[in-house]
Amino acid sequence: MNNSLKNAIFQSKYIQLIRYLGYRFLVFAQFLVCYLEAMSMNLQKDIRYIKGVGAVKARDFVYLGIKTLGDALFDFPFRYDDLSNTVDIANVKPGEKITIQGTIATIKNRKSNRNPRMIVTEAIVQDVTGGIKVVWFHRGFLTKVLRSGMLVSLSGKADDTYGLSLVNPEYEVVGNARATKHTGRIVPIYRLSGALTQKGRRSVAEEALKFINAEVKEWLPDCIIQDQKFVNYHDALRAMHFPNSVSDQEKALRRLKFEEFFLHQILHGKARRELKKQHASVIEFNEEYIRELVASLPYKLTSAQKKALWAIFKDMERDEPMNRLLEGDVGTGKTIVAALSAINTAKAGWQSALLAPTEILAQQHAVGLQNLFGDKLTIALFTRTKRTVSGRNVTKKQMLDGLKDGKIDFVVGTHALLSVDVLFNRLGFIIVDEQHRFGVRQRQALKDRQQDGDGIPHLLSMTATPIPRSLSLVLYGDLDCSILDEYPAGRKLIETHIVPEDREEDYYEKMRNQIDLGHQVFVVCPLIEESDALGVKSVNEVHDRFIKGPFSQYKVGMLHGKMKTKEKDEVMQAFLRNEIQILVSTTVVEVGVDIPNATVMFIEGAERFGLAQLHQLRGRVGRCEHQSFCFLHPSEKLSPIAKERLLAVVRSHDGFALADKDLKLRGPGNVYGTAQSGFEQFKLGSYADMDLITSARDYAKDMLDEDPELDKWPALQDRVMEYVDEIHFE
């Protein structure tokens, strides 16, 4: 082999070696970057990098809306277990919920005498005062976790059925410091999903709390903290996760509730001030035309509807932007008020847009409007999957061209309308259905579609949530309010009954009778366990019980929040076509869904809902000429207050009266007080916090009067900007 060939071979192998080493170095560098990222932990880090989480559990966290360590910090417990009653073993009494600390003398597994497939773990735990037997079922792994000689803390209920013992207690190995996290204290209980456990969630919360001093800054102005005697922000966050006492947790909760209300009021105050600086399109009221149109309707408008329409028309004739809330109880006719306002808008040469929270609701609105007014204006439907003009399918380009050149008078849509490529010719009027579901940024995006400086469109927000009048004035002080508190003539009241214990079969028979007459049934289930964040467990249980038992001969469908949007749509469309006779669902059917053929609403665990929510669920039936029914089925023996609340629903069909009643009866409720209140924008606050809401409004007004830009309080200024991104606000 000549030298030149040897050199060529050597150079080729050398180049391959360099490339190989370079590739290996690149892989190592990427690994090093990931490792360093994982090590340099802070609140912005991906949840999967937290010790004990990993990729699989991270997916379960994401299902709960938790993507970062910071998300976990602000995902507070929904309740607490008081396990702080620590006693000596000699003082343990049957029936008490107690905590003991002692050393494991023995621990072993055995098979159950009654069920050979069941593993029973038995231990003897001792302290200086004596010993006690501890029993766990189906926990065979504990013999690998707990061993003789270990000091443990155990919390549970003492039982003396087979001799004094602790049965299935919470356990915790006690370290040198003897401080406990899962026993012997007030223990936080979090939402769970998939493989997540309470112990795992507490560990993540403990990890997050390590960073609050460095990364979470106090933003509430000192004057408010001092006036209200609030605990500081860091102490409040610690006490929300690991309170040392009930008092500590209550003080923390009061501080954090106030923050929510205060931010809400700051944004309302700023919106009110900004609105006064704007000019709007002037839309003249064509009174003669509207009177003729109203006279041609197949039904008479109520006086409340006429008053609301008059106020809207007069608002839109001014060059100041209308910002009106149309608050109407279920079935009082909000949609026809909005539609007549849009027709008047079109008659004046302007376009209207209606934003709905779901595709089902948007399609429902579009079909109803097309049937009523399709001959008077061009109505379009624009969602992620559906595009129609005058009831006919069109391409996306045809839809966009129709909006841009003004040929479409009235478009009904979802978030798809907020896309950057959606441009209007002369947008003069925006209607937002269920107003709390759309954010201020999204609304602004739609307003900004105008290109010719005609001014910002008038806004009508609609809600079916019955808000007590006293609370509405405080929460939505910047909105003019029209209330529809009358029902159309001839509407039949929905018969409402509480289902007595052990009388379910009588009401199942009534439901079967309605189905046999050709009608349909809603069955709504509550959120029951912390691990069942979307009500899937309860829906599955009821669905399975129905198809195997009382309704085996009927078609029973199922709907819950864990299903994909397409699956939900398919189920609802099948229910609308009467291919499903009974729909077992979570409260996803609460707002707006219109199934005229449904005549029965059966509410499982009725005592777990707020009165306003029960009233809204009841409003899903009674939409046809046939008599409709609502059956309230408690899941447990009713307390006197719970019984009084359900009786209030039986006796009253006035949503506003029920909201006021709820405010008086329900009290602060649990930590997630708005789970039943209808105020989705508040995570912790509830109806019962009127004093905090009022204080928040007063402080917000004073501060904005003093400094509208909040320059005097830079930390507050920053927090308000963050809040706009976080929360839905109108």
Cα gap 670→265, rounded to integer Å: 23
Res 281 pLDDT > 50: yes
**Residue 195 predicted with pLDDT over 70:** yes
Residue 397, pLDDT score = 93
Please state the domain extents for the chain. Answer: 85-184, 276-484, 495-652
* Span 493-530, pLDDT tens digits: 899 999 998 899 999 999 999 999 999 999 998 865 44
User: Does residue 427 carry a pLDDT above 60?
Assistant: yes
Q: How far is CA 612 from CA 466, 491, 678, in A?
A: 6, 20, 7
CB 642 within 8 A of CB 607: yes
**pLDDT surpasses 50 at 634:** yes
Per-residue model confidence (pLDDT) at position 437? 47
Name the CATH topology of 276-484: Rossmann fold (3.40.50)
CATH code: domain 495-652 is 3.40.50.300
Contacts for 134 with CB less than 8 Å, ≥ 6 apart = 122, 123, 124, 125, 154, 165, 166, 169
CATH of domain 85-184: 2.40.50.140
Given pLDDT bands bounded at 50, 70 and 90, which one contains residue 29?
low
Q: What's the pLDDT score for residue 41?
A: 58
- Say if 85-184 and 276-484 have the same CATH topology: no
CA distance to 77, 257, 472, per residue, from 366 (Å): 41, 39, 29
User: If pLDDT is split at 50, 70 and 90, which confidence band does 730 have?
Assistant: very low
Query: What is d(CA 152, CA 467) in angstroms, rounded to the nearest whole number?
Result: 50
Mean pLDDT taken over the chain: 84
- The DSSP-derived string for 577-628 is TTS-SEEEE-GGGSSS---TTEEEEEEETGGGS-HHHHHHHHTTS--SSS--
Residue 448 has pLDDT above 70, yes or no: no
Strand partners, 158: 166
Q: What is the pLDDT of residue 30?
A: 56
Could you report the per-residue pLDDT of 343-366, keeping only the tens digit for each? Answer: 999 999 999 999 988 888 888 889
Q: Mean pLDDT across the stretch 469-473?
A: 64
**Measured distance CA(527)–CA(608) in Å, rounded:** 8
Residue whose pair of structure tokens reads 């007014």 in the numeric block: 373
Model pLDDT, residue 336: 92
What pLDDT is recorded for position 674?
36
Q: What is the pLDDT of residue 9?
A: 58
Residue 245 to residue 228: CA distance in whole angstroms: 20
Any idea how long the chain is? Answer: 730
- Read off the pLDDT of residues 697-728 as tens digits, 9 standing for 90 and up: 999 999 999 999 999 999 999 999 888 776 54
pLDDT of residue 123: 94
Instruction: Give the span between the Cα atoms of 356 and 464, in whole angstroms.
Output: 13
Query: Phi, psi (5° rounding) for residue 210?
Result: -65, -25
Between CA 46 and CA 52 the distance in angstroms is 13
Q: Is the model's pLDDT at 623 over the cut of 80?
A: no
Per-residue confidence band for 668, with pLDDT thresholds at 50, 70 and 90: very low
The predicted pLDDT at position 590 comes to 55
pLDDT band at 682 (very low <50, low <70, confident <90, very high): confident
pLDDT at 279: 85
Read off the amino acid at residue 146. Answer: L
473 or 76, higher pLDDT: 76
DSSP 422: -
Residue 574 has pLDDT above 60, yes or no: yes
pLDDT in tens, 81-131: 888 889 999 999 998 889 999 999 999 999 888 888 889 999 999 999 999
What pLDDT score does 680 carry?
Answer: 43
Q: What pLDDT is attached to residue 360?
A: 80
pLDDT at site 146: 93
Q: For residue 451, is pLDDT > 60?
A: no
